[in-house]
Amino acid sequence: MEVTLHTPGGLRRELHVRLPAERLTDAVNDRLKRMSARAKVPGFRPGKAPRKVLEQQYGEAARFDAINDLVNASYPAAVKQSGVTPAGQPQIDITTEKTGEPLEYVAKFEIYPEVVLSGLESIQINKPDVTVTDADIDRLIDNLRRAKRVFAPVERAAEKGDNVTIDFVGKIDGEAFDGGSGSDVKVELGEGRFLPDLEKGIEGHAAGENFSVKVDFPEDYRAEALRGKQAQFDVNLKQVEGAELPDIADPEFLKSHQIDPEGGVASLREKCQTALLKERDKAVRNNVKQQVMEALLKANDIEVPEALVTAELPRMQQEAAQRMGLQNLEQISPEQLDQMMPASLFEPQAKRRVALGLLVGEVIKTREIKLDADRVNVEIEQIAADYDSPEQVKQFYQSRPDLLQGLRAMVLEDQVVDSLVASATVNSVTQSLEDLLRPQQQGQPG
C-alpha cells in the first residue's frame, strides 16, 4: 500500500492511497465466491453456476462491495502510516478502479490543531466576595410569599401587582389588526407578559371603566407587520383583583416549605439563609469558571475543525429546544428542527465550545490532571441532598452510566478551573448577592 499525505491548507488534509491491482482482484473473487454459494441463477443449482454467468449477473455488485471492503479495511492503516489524527469522518473519493489496475482513492478530512497553551500564568480573576444579608433573606421570603399569593376582587384603581380582566381591541390608523383583540383576558400588571405600554396604561383605572391606551410596538417585535408602529387599544376593564400574601408565620405557609410551625419564622429564615449560601457559592463558582474560560480562549486563539463544529450543532439545537420546552423532541426530524432553529444561529457558540473543549483537553494533558473520584461522590451527595429520598437519588445516578459520565466530565472541568485559578492572579471584589444572582433565577428552599 502506497500512502501520500497532502496539505491543501489549514487543518485540511488529503490522504492519497494506492492499493495493488491484485488486492482488488482477490477481493472481487472473494466476493463472487461468497455470492455463488447463495446465488439463484435460472437453470443452475445453488453454487453450480459457471464463473462467467456469475460475473455477468453479479460482477458489478461484487466489484462495488469489494471496493468498499478494501477502502474500509485499508483506511485506518493508511491513517496510522501517515501519522495524523483525523477530526471526524473522511470524505472518500475513488479515483481509479479499473480492472487490472491498482485501486486508488483520496480520503479528505481535517486534523486536530496543534495546541500550545500560552498566557496561563497571566490570567486575572475578579472573584466576587458576597455576604448573605438579612435583606437578602427578606427578599427571598417575599418571593416565597408571592408564590403562594391569591387574588381577590378589590374596589379601587388597578396598580402594579394586581390581576386585571380586560376586553380589548387594538387598531392602527383606525383599523383593527390580526391578533390585536381579546375577551376576558387576565393580565398580572408588572409581569411583562403584555406590552409594557398597555400594562402601564391600565394602571390607575378601576373596574367598569372604558378607556384607550396608545402603544408603541418595538422595532424588534415578533410580528413583522407591527414593528415600529403605534396602535390604539380600546380597553374595557372588567375586574381588578388585588394580591393577598400569606402571613409569614402562618402554619400552613411554613408547612408548605417543610418548616415545623413550632420552629416558626426563625426556622424559615435559617432555611432561607442555607439555601442562599448554597446559591451564592454555586454562582461564585460559575462566575469564576466563566472568567477562566474566557481568559483561556482569549490567550489561545486556535483554529477549530469544521467537522467538530458541524457535529456540535445538532446537540446545541437539541439543548435549545429543551430550554424552550418543546415537547416530543424525539418525534421532530433533524430537518424540522433546523427549520425551527437554523444551525447557522449556533455556529459562533459551537466554535467556541469546540475550541474550549480542545483547550481544556490540553490543560488536562499538560498538567496531568486526573479525575478525583471523591469529588464525583461529593457532587452526587449534594445533588441527592435536595431531594426527599436522597438514597434513591444516589442509587439512580449509580445506575445511569450516561448521567455518571456527564457528572465526571463536569467535575474534571471544575478541576481544570481550580488548576488554572491556582496559577492566576485572583482579586477579591465585594458584590451584593442581588447583583451576583441578577442573571440567574434566585433559588427557593425545599
pLDDT score, position 53: 64
Most confident of 24-33, 128-137, 256-265: 128-137
- Among 232-246, 279-293, 319-333, which is the least confidently predicted range? 319-333
User: Top-level CATH class of 150-244?
Assistant: alpha beta
pLDDT greater than 60 at residue 198? yes
170 C-beta neighbours (distance < 10 Å), count? 23
pLDDT score, position 126: 96
Helix axes 373-384, 401-422, angle to 10 degrees: 110
- 95-115 mean pLDDT: 93
Give 380-407 pLDDT, tens digit per residue.
998 888 887 889 988 998 899 988 999 9
β-bridge pairing 230-244 and 150-153: antiparallel
pLDDT score, position 192: 85
Kindly state the DSSP code that residue 111 receives in the 8-state scheme: B
Reported as a pLDDT band with limits 50, 70 and 90, residue 445 is: very low
pLDDT greater than 90 at residue 184? yes
Give 211-230 pLDDT, tens digit per residue.
999 999 999 888 888 989 99
pLDDT score, position 442: 42
Q: Which grid coordinates are listed for 105?
A: 482513492
Tell me which residue has cell 442509587. Answer: 395
Give 43-84 pLDDT, tens digit per residue.
565 555 566 666 666 678 888 989 999 999 999 999 999 999
H or E element, residue 405? helix 401-422
What pTM was computed for the model? 0.75
- 128-154 mean pLDDT: 95
β-bridge pairing 124-129 and 103-110: unpaired
Q: Which residues pair with 125 in a beta bridge?
A: 426
Is the torsion defined by CA of 250, 254, 256, 262 positive or negative? negative
Per CATH, which fold does 120-131+253-437 belong to?
Answer: Trigger factor, domain 2 (1.10.3120)
Give the C-alpha separation, 398 to 394, whole Å: 6
pLDDT score, position 328: 73
Q: What is the dotted CATH code of the domain comprising 2-110?
A: 3.30.70.1050
Domain locations in the chain as residue ranges? 2-110, 120-131+253-437, 150-244
Helix axes 51-82, 21-38, angle to 10 degrees: 130
